[in-house]
Every structure is written in C-alpha cells, then in structure tokens.
C-alpha cells in the first residue's frame, strides 16, 4: 500500500519560524516512518503584518479574514491528491467549513488531541502559551462538547508568543519550568493527561523529551494528530466517510468547486 500523503497546515508564517517548521518535518518522520509523508505548509509571509499568530488571531475579524486561506488550501490539498488535511493549530480555524468542502479526512490538532487524550485519562488539562490561545481552546472544548472531561485551559507564566517560544528551542529551561509548574497545578486538580495547547510550545515540550509531569501523561499532540489522520485515511479506504446529513452537509460539490474557483481569481 502506498504511503499516505498528509498536508499539514500551520497558521504561522513559517518563513519566520523556520526552526519550528523543520522540527515538525523531523517529528513527523520519527512518528510515521514509512507509513505516511507529511508536507508542512504555513501562511504567506506578511499575513499578520508583523504580528505573531497569537498576537493577531484574538480579533474575530482578523481571524476570519486571514484564516480563509486555510480553507482554500484544504481544497487545493484534495485537488493535488493528498490523502488527508491536518489543521495544525489549536485555533482550529474553519473545521466545519473544511469538512463540508472536501471529501478527504480532516484532522484538527485540537480535536484529535482531545479525543486521543480521552483514551489516556479521565480528566485532561490544556496548557497554552498566552491568554488569547487559552480562550480559543476553551471555545473549542465547548464546541466539541467535552466539558466534562477537560479542565479549564490555563497559560504558562509569563505568557510567550511564537517567536519567543522558537527562540527558546536552544535553551528551553525557563519555558519548560513554566510549563511544568502549570502542569503540576493541573495535576493537583485531578488531571491525568496534560495537553501542550499551542503548536510551537508543544513542539518545544516534545523536543525536550518531557513525557510526563507528576505522574500525568504529557501528550505528543502532533504525533497524536498525524496518527489520527493516518487512521482516518486507512478507514477511508474501507469506505468510511464524514456524515453529510446535517453538520457537514455537502449537497452540491459542484457549487463548492465553482465558488472556490471564483474566489481564487477574484
């Protein structure tokens, strides 16, 4: 069987976070081996006008206008023959819209992490990088109906945006200490699984080899999401599909394609 091809879509400008981008590619090879290839894509340089994703995406207008590119790229991924599309951001942009637009599996970093974590422990604690992302994670937990399994998301202290987190890859001690302190507080509240709930932070934690805190599992969120995507690809090959009755309705695929073409050239 041919290896699966996964399109991983970050919402960061990866030309500004090149160390992070390379780390994701290496991480994917280590997790998936010969079973799948992961092509990591970011947003175009200048998307956020000099701000970080964390600094920009707390504004709802900016979020919806700029992250439309993620939906466009999902349609392009399907056209180019990718087997699955991975939304590699805890902001989880346009998940419903993307699943309604394409007929390949779509895995979300947030949803996949939460679902896998539910198999590893009773209570889950997301630890993020800053208040804006904490709010997005709380919104996603509500959207997925997982309030009973997920403790309230928290941020590390002091909060850090993506460039500062990437800069810490060479000397991660202070960030790891901040993450561990937040995780220990969550474990004291009953957490069995801790989720590093922001991509650059999550990769830093993974690279540092931090796999548990005070007996609680620290989830490899990227590994879990790519593995979840690969599972869906394999099930897709048996005939499994997204339910189209209501939430992910797709009554007229030709209309999706026509609108996509019109917006691409406008």
Residues 6 or more apart whose Cβ sits within 8 Å of residue 193:
117, 120, 121, 123, 124, 125, 216, 217, 218, 219
Q: pLDDT digit string (tens) for 67-107?
A: 889 999 999 999 999 999 999 999 899 999 999 999 999 99
Confidence of residue 245 (pLDDT cuts 50, 70, 90): confident
**All CATH 3.40.50.1860 domain ranges in the chain, comma separated:** 4-108+223-265
**pTM (two decimals):** 0.93
Q: pLDDT digit string (tens) for 193-226?
A: 999 999 999 999 999 999 999 999 999 999 999 9
Strands 193-196 and 154-155: unpaired
Would the pLDDT of 265 be above 60? no
Give the CATH number of domain 4-108+223-265. 3.40.50.1860
Whether the Cβ atoms of residue 49 and residue 29 lie closer than 8 Å to each other: no
Q: pLDDT digit string (tens) for 12-61?
A: 888 888 899 999 999 999 999 999 999 999 999 988 888 888 878 888 88
Token pair belonging to 158: 């002091």
Whether the Cβ atoms of residue 163 and residue 51 lie closer than 8 Å to each other: no
CATH 3.40.50.12500 fits 111-221, yes or no: yes
Distances (CA, A) of 69 to 10, 73, 74: 11, 6, 9
Whether the Cβ atoms of residue 154 and residue 181 lie closer than 8 Å to each other: no
Among 128, 51, 38, 123, CA closest to 92: 128
**All CATH 3.40.50.12500 domain ranges in the chain, comma separated:** 111-221
What pLDDT was estimated at residue 143? 92
């Amino acid at each position: 069987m041919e290896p699966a091809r996964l399109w991983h879509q970050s919402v960061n400008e990866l030309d500004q976070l090149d160390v992070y981008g390379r780390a994701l590619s290496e991480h994917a090879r280590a997790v998936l081996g010969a079973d799948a290839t992961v092509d990591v894509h970011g947003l175009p340089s200048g998307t956020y006008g000099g701000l970080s994703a964390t600094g920009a995406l707390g504004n709802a207008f900016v979020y919806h206008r700029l992250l439309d590119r993620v939906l466009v790229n999902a349609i392009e991924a399907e056209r180019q023959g990718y087997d699955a599309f991975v939304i590699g951001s805890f902001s989880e942009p346009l998940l419903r819209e993307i699943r309604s637009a394409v007929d390949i599996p779509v895995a979300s970093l947030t949803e996949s992490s939460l679902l896998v974590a539910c198999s590893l422990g009773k209570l889950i604690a997301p630890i993020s990088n800053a208040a804006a992302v904490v709010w997005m994670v709380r919104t996603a937990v509500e959207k997925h109906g997982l309030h009973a399994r997920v403790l309230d998301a928290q941020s590390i202290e002091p909060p850090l945006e993506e460039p500062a987190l990437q800069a810490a890859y060479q000397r991660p001690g202070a960030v790891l200490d901040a993450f561990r302190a937040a995780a220990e507080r969550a474990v004291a509240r009953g957490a069995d699984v801790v989720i590093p709930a922001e991509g650059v932070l999550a990769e830093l934690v993974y690279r540092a080899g931090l796999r548990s805190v005070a007996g609680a599992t620290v989830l490899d969120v990227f590994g879990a999401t790519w593995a979840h995507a690969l599972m869906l690809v394999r099930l897709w090959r048996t005939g499994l599909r997204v339910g189209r009755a209501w939430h992910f309705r797709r009554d007229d695929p030709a209309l999706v394609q026509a609108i996509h073409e019109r917006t691409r050239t406008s």
